[in-house]
Amino acid sequence: MDEARIPIGEGTRVLVLTGAGISAESGLATFRGGGGLWEGYPVEQVASPEGFAADPELVWRFYSMRRRAAAEAEPNAAHRALATLEEGLGDRLLLVTQNVDGLHARAGSRRVVEVHGTLWRTRCSRCLRPPFDDATEPLGPPLPRCTCGALLRPDIVWFGEMLDPAATGRVEGFLRAARRSGAPLVFVAVGTSGNVYPAAGYVHAARAHGAETWLVNLDPALNATSFDHIVTGPAGEVLPRLLGLDG
């Protein structure tokens, strides 16, 4: 247990990675806690192109439920602490989230990269029509279809799918600029189990760019040994304290 403050001084750059655990105190379920199942299915089966091809109705039911839960949730103290941190740091901070719930933006964060997409956009499963804003739920039956006739799907990155190169490029660009600046770099991961790549590898990328690395998580993550500092506890309590924002 490491109870010091995260060292953020004049000029320090901060790359933050968040996962489902940061939204747990807002009442949203994590993926790998509590059995990690949904209606008895492993997440990999519901959140994959194969799962969608096999049973699109099941997948849309999952995402309709997620839309409703996220719409009813409120950002918590950890989301708010990161928004406050950004107010002070401006573009010396980049917030990378694996979450699709939109709670960081609702807390006031602006420099957010949603590397796994968002619940609040839909796209075609076949044609190149651009993704569009969509908060509809419940969805189907009948299932929503594109003007081209194919099924619409959530604009979410499923297992086996590539992350948007524009999104990963922003993360890599931030790390490169930090190294070029010569300023101290801090990497903070919050509420993520370290299971899913490439996000689970960002701690290695950050270290390679000279970062001091911090993990704030309820349980030790799979990649915990890669961090310089590990603080276990609920993010809503721990993160404001570590950032010196607990009044």
DSSP 86: H
Tell whether residue 87 is a contact of ligand BJW (CB under 6 A): no
Tell whether residue 139 is a contact of ligand BJW (CB under 6 A): no
Pick the stretch among 25-33, 83-91, 146-154, 207-215 that binds Zn ion (CB under 5 A).
146-154
Q: Give the total residue count for the chain.
A: 247
229 annotated active-site: no
Strand partners, 185: 13
Tell whether residue 27 is a contact of ligand BJW (CB under 6 A): no
CA 70 – CA 134 distance, rounded (Å): 13
Tokens 């607990």 found at: 246
Binds ligand BJW by CB under 6 A, chosen from 6, 19, 26, 134: 19
Tell whether residue 31 is a contact of ligand BJW (CB under 6 A): yes
Question: Shortest distance, CB of residue 94 to ligand BJW, whole angstroms?
Answer: 17
Question: Shortest distance, CB of residue 129 to Zn ion, whole angstroms?
Answer: 5
Identify the active-site residue in 79, 104, 116, 209.
116
Question: Shortest distance, CB of residue 90 to ligand BJW, whole angstroms?
Answer: 26
Binds ligand BJW by CB under 6 A, chosen from 14, 21, 92, 118: 21
Pick the stretch among 33-41, 149-157, 158-166, 183-191 that binds Zn ion (CB under 5 A).
149-157
| Percentages (nearest 5) of helix, strand, coil residues in the chain | 40, 20, 40
Return left, alpha or beta for 34; rule: phi > 0 is left, psi -120 to 50 is alpha, else beta: left
Opening angle at CA 10, ends 7 and 12, nearest 5: 55
Tell whether residue 245 is a contact of Zn ion (CB under 5 A): no
Q: Provide the residue type at 224 as one letter.
A: A
Binds ligand BJW by CB under 6 A, chosen from 82, 113, 156, 189: 156
Under a CB-based contact definition with an 8 Å cutoff, are residues 103 and 75 in contact? yes
The closest of 246, 7, 14 to 109, measured between CA atoms, is 14
CA 19 – CA 6 distance, rounded (Å): 19
Residues contributing to the site for ligand BJW (CB under 6 A): 19-21, 24-25, 30-33, 43, 47, 98, 100, 116, 156-163, 191-193, 195-198, 217-219, 221, 234-235
Q: Which residues are catalytic?
A: 116
Site residues (CB under 5 A) for Zn ion?
Answer: 124, 127, 129, 146, 148, 150
